[in-house]
Amino acid sequence: MATQCRWAHNRWAQNNDTIVNGDGRNLKTSPTWASYWHSASQGFWPSILRRGLLFALAWWILVGGEITSWWIGVPAVLLAATASVALVSSATLVWYELLRFVPYFLIRSLLGGMDVAWRAFHPGIPIDPHLLKYPIRLPPGLPRVFMANTVSLLPGTLSAELGSTYLNVHVLTRRENVFSDLEKLERNVAALFGTSLPASNGGVM
């Protein structure tokens, strides 16, 4: 009897929500808060770290590398990362793709800023605002949210609405290459999150 009790206790120690006897029958089922916390925390903290680094990068770009801004930036990044984990499903991040995405983003920001400045100071003000409905192909969750936020950070474009199959983008002009620019951005975001994209339909919705 004592041997059976010790064996049952060992089985409970291996699986803390079920105790079985020597015949393999359940004696008691009692999930503990510790087991719930352990399961939740396994994915929670890595997600906080990954998203915190992404939001910190976005903050650094927005403030132009200003060191003193981190007094506000650190709490903002922590709050944004925590809220995103609670509200948006997790996704895998391919870290070496980040080394390609950051230069791409900075170059696009510089070129876009120059284009906006040229249009603003041009005597004819060649601006033709337009709302473009882009058929987004990224999987739902963080990849789509990341792309929508990135579009808003780039000069001359602003994400207006993120739907189930589309992204409404406000653009300053109906230039011909705006769709191809969005496609390239989407491919880069897909690579960053390690996901593949279906074939493009070749135009806006």
pLDDT digits (tens, 9 = 90+) for 117-161: 888 888 887 888 889 999 999 998 889 988 998 998 888 888 999
68 and 120 housed in the same domain: no
167 shares a domain with 101:
yes
Query: How many CB atoms neighbour CB 148 within 10 A?
Result: 20
Same domain, 108 and 203: yes
Residue 195 belongs to a domain: yes
Residues 74 and 140 in one domain: no
pLDDT at 156: 85
The reply to whether 129 and 150 lie within a common domain is yes
What range does the domain containing 57 cover? Answer: 43-87
Same domain, residue pair 80 and 99: no
Same domain, 166 and 139: yes
Domain count, the chain: 3
- In a domain, residue 38? The reply is no
CATH number for the domain that contains residue 180: 3.30.70
Same domain, 99 and 122: yes
Residues 165 and 119 in one domain: yes
pLDDT band at 188 (very low <50, low <70, confident <90, very high): very high
